[in-house]
Amino acid sequence: MSKLLEVPVIDIARFRFGDAEDRRAVAREVDRACTDIGFLIIDGHGVDPGLIERTRAVSREFFDLPEAEKRRVARPGVDVSRGYTGLEDESVARSRDATATQGDLNESLMIGPVDRPDEAYATAPAAGQHFAPNIWPERPAALRPVWTEYYRAMGDLAATIMRIFALALDLDEDYFDDKIDKHISRLRLRNYPAQAQAPKPGQIRAGAHSDYGSLTILCTEDKPGGLQVCNAEGEWVDVPIVPGTFIINIGDLMERWSNDRWVSTLHRVVNPPAGAGGAARRQSIVFFHNPNYDARIECLPNCTREGEAPRYPVTTSGDHLRSMFVTTQNTATAAETEA
């Protein structure tokens, strides 16, 4: 079978409601997508469209606030992945290329877990800042309850996808359950403003990067200046926007777990064409699903071929994520926290 060079659409209702054969059929399709291109679009996910709309609306209201008010909930430190990150404060491309310093042309607001596991686990030294309290803006007042509901819905959807992943990797369907039951996922809204001035040379909405965790669930909109992924031929292809679906990609931790059987694909968000005007404003709802901070990320059973050794040293979810957060921030606090 030739390699997929475009991102496929997969209906996961057949997994959610089907019999064992249906479930295996979905898992096979997902395995092919994760092997060939690292991205898939899912339909039949069961998330309430009203919740998505409400999440979009309260977030847009937040980004429309004056800059000074948004800065009141500024990210407190580079390893504290919470709060507001301003335009050009981050260069996600630095996660792969230390010389990439152009600031990304988006601003964002981010939260972590909304449900705390027991206090001893949440505050253990190895927990680092992964259970740091969330920083909620005062306005709009509806943001907190709506985002909390959305975060929980994404946690549930990610758990289903991890079950599909387990089956796709020839593991028991519940293999990942106890590695994600205290997940340290992040919900991040990115606002990509319309571009009144030309970007600096080489500067784009989000530089080329791969995501860091287990998987990402993206809900975006069809606007000029969108998401592209680098396929197996090294070509940048647009990810189609299919109404009612989510875009899913695997992150670096899943790539490591699978010993490179699956690919954590490079992707980027390009600029709108000059003159696109206000219509180019774009908002993405991004849920980065990350395993429990103490989940050991080591080559999974079934992921080495005859005579092949594991390609990565063992790490933990918490350690890997922290190093990525610290590497990609352009703010003044970066130097302080790294020291």
- Using CB under 6 A as the criterion, which residues of the chain lie in contact with ligand AKG when the complex forms? 190, 206, 211, 218, 220, 227, 267, 269, 284, 286
Contact (Cβ atoms closer than 8 angstroms) between residue 86 and residue 63: no
Q: Residue 227 touches which of ligand AKG, Fe ion, none (CB < 5 to 8 A by kind)? A: ligand AKG
Least distance from Fe ion to the Cβ atom of residue 117, Å:
26
Closest residue to Fe ion using C-beta atoms: 211
Least distance from Fe ion to the Cβ atom of residue 131, Å:
23
Give 267 or 322: the residue with its C-beta nearer to ligand AKG.
Answer: 267
Out of 29, 31, 104, 211, the residue judged to bind Fe ion by CB under 5 A: 211
Burial class (CB in 10 A: 0-12, 13-18, 19+), 313: exposed
* Range in contact with Fe ion (rule: CB under 5 A) among 99-107, 122-130, 204-212, 276-284: 204-212
Give 15 or 255: the residue with its C-beta nearer to Fe ion.
Answer: 255
Give 169 or 272: the residue with its C-beta nearer to ligand AKG.
Answer: 272
Give 79 or 169: the residue with its C-beta nearer to ligand AKG.
Answer: 79
Least distance from Fe ion to the Cβ atom of residue 286, Å:
7
68-to-28, 62, 63, 73, 333 alpha-carbon distances in Å: 49, 12, 11, 9, 18
36 binds Fe ion (CB under 5 A): no
Closest residue to ligand AKG using C-beta atoms: 284
Least distance from Fe ion to the Cβ atom of residue 73, Å:
22
What letter does residue 235 receive in the DSSP assignment? -
- Kind and range of the H or E run holding 254: helix 252-257
Q: Which residues have CB under 8 Å from 281's CB, separation 6+? A: 191, 192, 193, 194, 223
The residue count for binding Fe ion (CB under 5 A) is 1
Q: Residue 269 touches which of Fe ion, ligand AKG, none (CB < 5 to 8 A by kind)? A: ligand AKG
104 binds Fe ion (CB under 5 A): no
Burial class (CB in 10 A: 0-12, 13-18, 19+), 213: buried
Least distance from ligand AKG to the Cβ atom of residue 154, Å:
14
Give 258 or 284: the residue with its C-beta nearer to ligand AKG.
Answer: 284
- CB count within 10 Å of CB 149 equals 15
- CB count within 10 Å of CB 141 equals 11
**Closest Cα to residue 261, out of 25, 40, 36, 96?**
36
Contact (Cβ atoms closer than 8 angstroms) between residue 183 and residue 289: yes
Least distance from Fe ion to the Cβ atom of residue 121, Å:
28
Least distance from ligand AKG to the Cβ atom of residue 211, Å:
5
Contact (Cβ atoms closer than 8 angstroms) between residue 72 and residue 40: no
**Closest Cα to residue 30, out of 226, 250, 306?**
250
Give 111 or 127: the residue with its C-beta nearer to ligand AKG.
Answer: 111
